[in-house]
Every structure is written in structure tokens, then in C-alpha cells.
A and B are shown apart, each in its own frame.
Chain A
Amino acid sequence: GAGVSQSPRYKVAKRGQDVALRCDPISGHVSLFWYQQALGQGPEFLTYFQNEAQLDKSGLPSDRFFAERPEGSVSTLKIQRTQQEDSAVYLCASSLMGQGWSEAFFGQGTRLTVV
């Protein structure tokens, strides 16, 4: 595709429900990042993949958060037993290279509201 695509754009979940957020990176991009952006704040790092390998998951706030990228392309961020504090925009970004710097292209995010 032309850019990073995230779905759904909006998700409302009842407290305790499980949710799955999808990210389609730009084709051929090696690196994929997930960020969480609370209302009125800057994005905060959650996790990083280089191809299918999850190299850094230090930002995941609890063991209720799980991310995967099994074939090195599409990635899914799963949140189990959602809590109100999980309400945020979840941003995905991909970049061409796995080493050094290459520009990160962001999707439009998924806005998760837990009620």
C-alpha cells in the first residue's frame, strides 16, 4: 500500500474485553514500532519488531499487552482484559531499514475507548 494502514480507526470496548489492533506497514519495511498516545500527551514507545523478531518490548505496560508480527509484515497488538487506563490512540510506524536511521512513517492510529 501507499502508507501505513491501521484498523480499526476507532474501537470501543467494555472493561474486561479483549481487543486486537492491526497494523499494515509499508511493503518491504523491516522495522515496525507501536506507540501509545494518551489524550494531550506525546506518543510513548511500546514495542519494536525487526522483521518477525520482537527486539524490544520494554514499553509494554503490563502482561495484558501482547504484540506479534509472525511473517514480518502485518502486526497485531492485543490487549487482554482492557482497563479504562488503556484508553488512548495506538500508533503504528514502519521504516525501511533495520539498522541505523531511516524515516519512520506513521499510520493514523486506532483510538481505543474503554467504557
Chain B
Amino acid sequence: AQTVTQSQPEMSVQEAETVTLSCTYDTSENNYYLFWYKQPPSRQMILVIRQEAYKQQNATENRFSVNFQKAAKSFSLKISDSQLGDTAMYFCAFMKHDSGANSKLTFGKGITLSVRP
């Protein structure tokens, strides 16, 4: 079974500054995906960024980038130039790669990020 751990319950950052959200995971799988999802008060989960475990290069998506350390099983999210609209809960998630069927997501407990004006 996989586990995803987000040990910081909440963080706060000043608008325009940079913040890093931490995530560790545990798995015996070798081929998998890692994700960061954003959940605003509307409750709708929105995919922020995806990382494939076999790729050594860290994924980036505009102001969002990850630091993926496979050996350490660490997957942190860096948000640059924070904006007020980034205020939300952020979830780290794991998905086993299964070529035969789609796989479920295993989520961490989440972190509440507040961006201060």
C-alpha cells in the first residue's frame, strides 16, 4: 500500500513571494505518478502539476515547479510570485502506473495555504 504524508497543516506567504510545500511518500512501486492538486473553497479539485517517476527532470508549470527526489521519496511544490488566487488547500497525491487500467489516487492530508496581500 502507498502512503502520502504532508506534515505541515498550514502555511502563509506574502503576495509575490515564494513558498514551498512539502510532501513525502512511501511505496514499493517503481513506476508511478505524483501530483499536486489545489482545492479552493468551491471544493473542486484542480490539477496543478504532474511528475512521472521515471523522469529525472523536475516538472514545471508556469509559476509552479516541483523538487522530486526519488531516492528520498520526497516531492515538494514551489510556488513562485504567489498570488491571492493561490489561497487554497493543496494536496499531494500518488498514483501507481498500471498500463491495464486506470488507477486510483492516494492523497495526503493536505495543507492550507494563505496568501497575504
Q: Tell me which of A20-28, A66-74, A77-85, A93-101 binds B.
A: A93-101
Closest chain A residue, CB of each to CB of B107 = A42
Report whether over half of chain B's contact residues are helix, strand or loop; otherwise say mixed.
loop
The A36-53 residues at the B interface (CB cut-off 8 A) are 40-45, 48, 50
Among B91, B105, B106, find the residue whose CB has the most chain A CB atoms closer than 10 A.
B105
Q: A interface, how many residues as a size bin?
A: 20 to 34
In the bound complex, CA of A107 to CA of B43 (Å): 8
Q: Which residues of A contact B110 (CB under 8 A)?
A: 40-42
Q: Is B33 an interface residue (CB 8 A)?
A: yes
Q: Tell me if A101 and B97 are in contact (CB < 8 A).
A: yes
Q: Is B101 an interface residue (CB 8 A)?
A: yes
Residues of B within 8 A of A (CB): 4, 6, 33, 42-47, 91, 93, 95, 97-110
Q: Tell me if A43 and B105 are in contact (CB < 8 A).
A: yes
In the assembled complex, 18 residue pairs joining A and B whose CB atoms fall closer than 8 Å, in A order, are A31-B102, A40-B110, A41-B110, A42-B93, A42-B110, A43-B91, A43-B107, A48-B104, A50-B101, A55-B101, A99-B101, A100-B98, A100-B102, A101-B33, A101-B95, A103-B47, A106-B46, A109-B43
Q: Which residues of B contact A7 (CB under 8 A)?
A: none
Closest chain A residue, CB of each to CB of B52 = A101
Q: Known: A91-B45, A108-B43. Is A41-B101 also a contact (CB below 8 A)? A: no
Q: Is A59 an interface residue (CB 8 A)?
A: yes
